[in-house]
Structure 1
């Protein structure tokens, strides 16, 4: 509690503010962060202060703020040094402020002040030689008791403020300790969780290894099952070949001018080679079903423009094999497979596909005119003689509906490697068909919109690694498309 020893100051109001501040500090239990260390002055003092703000300052901040407040200007460094010397020599700060306020410059500025009468009087007495000092000594003796009470009250206030600050620091220290304990508990929990996650990760890795092993085992099992299925098919074919008499197929008629009105016959001679041989041969050299489907997917967009096919007429696939192409067609398309190999026909039936074991030329000759939407034949026409190829095109012109389409794919002899080696791997191939010849023959037979599609080139990484005319020609001859297809439509007339 402040002792009212200066009649010019409202000590009651000051005490009330101090107590209110102390109570606010006690009630404010919010967690306060520690202030950051900043050696620079926390406040700018070279500006005018109100009088009640000014007298709260001490030492150099007091002087820095007094000159702008009382004289209206900043203090010179020499003036600051002189004022500090006075304050630190025992002068009261009110005496220093009075000296500034009642100087000629201060009187001219005219700042309103309170409680400087005693300080002004002391400054006036100090200027009187000898007698002034005696008067000051008497005044000091008379003021000892009130001043002592003032300092005791101030020390008491400071003591209480320090205690409150210490209590606050103790609370913060306790809070920090509890937070540190909480962090240690959380760290321990995180360590336990990390150990658990690591154990789970190791278990998951073990499961992944076991799953990979099971996947490999399943793949090996599926491969073994595929091999067993092929073996069973070959065995069934061989058994059927032994149980039935050799198949006799009539030769083609000598007069080819009547094939349009009489059933056409194949010129294949009776063979003692069982169906199982051709099935095993295709399994070895033609490629797996997925590879075949990937290559034949090229033709699916062509089917979308065939109006008779979308109208419901069937697509006939000659030499349908294992049914890869038929299986790729949308369910909305009618489709029929034709194949001489009984095992291929049986494989199609097992997949729910309609297939007929018969010579394709004979089957086509039995169909009515304009009854088929499309005829496809993948790697078939190279097995036919020139006469058979003519018959096939004539029959297609007859049975296809207007707008119907043929799709014939065959090895491309423009690729020298395919023509010289791969073509002759199959002993039933007769001779390569150059694209120019096939295109001419199809046009000659009256088909329209004849197109040649060169397909399945050798992968680029196998080509010559140089840029020259010789390299480009070698790439075209040795690494070009291995197959080509001819597509054509029957006219509307």
Structure 2
């Protein structure tokens, strides 16, 4: 309950109203939604206030809120100035509120107020000349003691509030200092962690540098190892050549004293002073690395799927197998054999687990049984053969291939003038280029079926001409067309 320490208020009526409001609130069990948050800077006093809210205000906010609450309208600026003048000239705020409430406009509005009887009486006395002022003075003298008690109580309340605020400020200051000390400790931990991370970063950078140096060292060792392997292969080839030399001389002497009734198989395995390592290095320089060759030869893989003898288990023979790129690309279920004159190429195939033979291909084919091979491939080989050798190769393929067996021969394309005039002659062992029309005719003449010409590996389009005329199109075809072509053909059924 409220303590009656202000003689200008009717505390009995206020206590009754408060108790009634509390009871109403207890009986009202409806869920009350939270008021909507409105951050807009609109005037919060230009609305009707409840009486208990209104009497808590002072000065201009009191006047701004009193007019909507007691008169039902906003105050004019002149009315605000007049009210402020009264409040600052000694009028009690309850007298100002009573003047508004009991004015004709306020009576017509009929706002509910409490505790304004004394204020209304004081306003009435003020309007009485002379006597009214005496009565007001007498009323003021009679109210000195209650007012003193009110102000003392207010002072005590303010003192207690000030003390509590000071204690709260001291507590907040202690909390702030404690938090500041914790932040300093955390900052020290962060500095230590940052230093540790920087040290780890430097160590990681040192490890990266060391790893890079080790990688370079390993690369140098691998290069040296490759060079040593090439030297070793060349030495092996020379040793094999020296070992074969006496047998070659003996065979030559025996052949002079023996008359052979039949014509021997043609061979190009002729002793040479050029080491095998030369042609291996030549291929590495001018033909391209293994990855490039595999990408180009992958074109032929779909052709193998339709070769019935190959799927039945008969082998594919690759003449001039080189380093074994094509043999390595074949599916695991295919049988395969490589034939090459170069001992270093054969050794490289053996190191990869591939079956390879160092022998003249024509001699090897002549030793095979009829219908014993599924396919014969030769990539950039037939341009090394004479016309007689090419004829024998086709005859031997027709003999050893099983019905349905296939040949795949790839060679430089002389339709590309640059390839025919320049690139072809880079290899001194090339004999002459083979035009596609001639190769197609010869293969058909030898009895092969389903003969097809595949033009491959054109110059990349970014180097070609802009085909904006018939002359440009023809020049583009002659100078920038396919650099290679392949002939594929099948042996007919019996």
Is the pair's TM-score, using the shorter chain for normalization, greater than 0.5? yes
1:246 to 1:18, Cα distance in 2 relative to 1, 3 A: farther
CA contact (8 A) 2:8 2:118 kept: no
d(CA) in 2 for partners of 1:111 and 1:240?
Answer: 126
Q: Which residue of 2 aligns with 1:188?
A: 188
d(CA) in 2 for partners of 1:28 and 1:178?
Answer: 46
d(CA) in 2 for partners of 1:204 and 1:215?
Answer: 16
| Helix, strand or coil at the partner of 1:246 | helix
Return 5+ residue gaps in structure 2 as ranges: none
CA contact (8 A) 2:13 2:114 kept: no
1:4 to 1:210, Cα distance in 2 relative to 1, 3 A: same
Identify which range, 253-262 or 106-115, moves more after superposition.
Answer: 253-262
1:266 to 1:186, Cα distance in 2 relative to 1, 3 A: same
Once the two structures are superposed, residues 38-85 of structure 1 have per-residue CA deviations (whole angstroms, 9 ceiling, x without a partner) of 999796111111111111111111111111111111111111111111
CA contact (8 A) 2:316 2:377 kept: yes
Q: Which residue of 2 aligns with 1:417?
A: 418
**Deviation for aligned residue 1:480:** 4.1
d(CA) in 2 for partners of 1:379 and 1:385?
Answer: 14
Q: Which residue of 1 aligns with 2:252?
A: 252
Q: Which residue of 1 aligns with 2:21?
A: 21
| Helix, strand or coil at the partner of 1:248 | helix
**Deviation for aligned residue 1:17:** 14
CA contact (8 A) 2:448 2:491 kept: yes
| Helix, strand or coil at the partner of 1:309 | helix
1:226 to 1:28, Cα distance in 2 relative to 1, 3 A: farther
d(CA) in 2 for partners of 1:110 and 1:187?
Answer: 65
Once the two structures are superposed, residues 16-51 of structure 1 have per-residue CA deviations (whole angstroms, 9 ceiling, x without a partner) of 999999999999999999999999979611111111
Q: Which residue of 2 aligns with 1:273?
A: 274
**Deviation for aligned residue 1:156:** 1.8
**Deviation for aligned residue 1:350:** 2.8
CA contact (8 A) 1:379 1:410 kept: yes
CA contact (8 A) 2:7 2:147 kept: no
**Deviation for aligned residue 1:164:** 2.5
Once the two structures are superposed, residues 402-428 of structure 1 have per-residue CA deviations (whole angstroms, 9 ceiling, x without a partner) of 443322111222333332333223332
Once the two structures are superposed, residues 315-342 of structure 1 have per-residue CA deviations (whole angstroms, 9 ceiling, x without a partner) of 1111112222212223222111112333
Identify which range, 95-104 or 202-211, moves more after superposition.
Answer: 202-211
Once the two structures are superposed, residues 335-372 of structure 1 have per-residue CA deviations (whole angstroms, 9 ceiling, x without a partner) of 11112333433332232211223332233334344432
Q: How many residues align?
A: 493
Identify which range, 413-422 or 222-231, moves more after superposition.
Answer: 413-422
Structural mapping, 1:154-169, within 5 Å: 154-169=154-169
**Deviation for aligned residue 1:492:** 5.0
Q: TM-score, normalised by structure 1?
A: 0.83
CA contact (8 A) 1:394 1:445 kept: yes
Identify which range, 141-150 or 278-287, moves more after superposition.
Answer: 278-287
Q: Which residue of 2 aligns with 1:475?
A: 476
1:32 to 1:119, Cα distance in 2 relative to 1, 3 A: closer
CA contact (8 A) 1:405 1:488 kept: yes
**Deviation for aligned residue 1:487:** 2.7
**Deviation for aligned residue 1:308:** 3.3
Identify which range, 97-106 or 19-28, moves more after superposition.
Answer: 19-28
CA contact (8 A) 1:371 1:401 kept: yes
Once the two structures are superposed, residues 126-152 of structure 1 have per-residue CA deviations (whole angstroms, 9 ceiling, x without a partner) of 111111111110000000000111111
CA contact (8 A) 2:6 2:146 kept: no
**Deviation for aligned residue 1:458:** 4.6
| Helix, strand or coil at the partner of 2:52 | helix
d(CA) in 2 for partners of 1:33 and 1:175?
Answer: 35
1:271 to 1:60, Cα distance in 2 relative to 1, 3 A: closer
d(CA) in 2 for partners of 1:429 and 1:63?
Answer: 114
**Deviation for aligned residue 1:229:** 1.0
CA contact (8 A) 1:246 1:272 kept: no
**Deviation for aligned residue 1:227:** 1.2
Once the two structures are superposed, residues 228-272 of structure 1 have per-residue CA deviations (whole angstroms, 9 ceiling, x without a partner) of 111111111112212223676999999999999998443665656
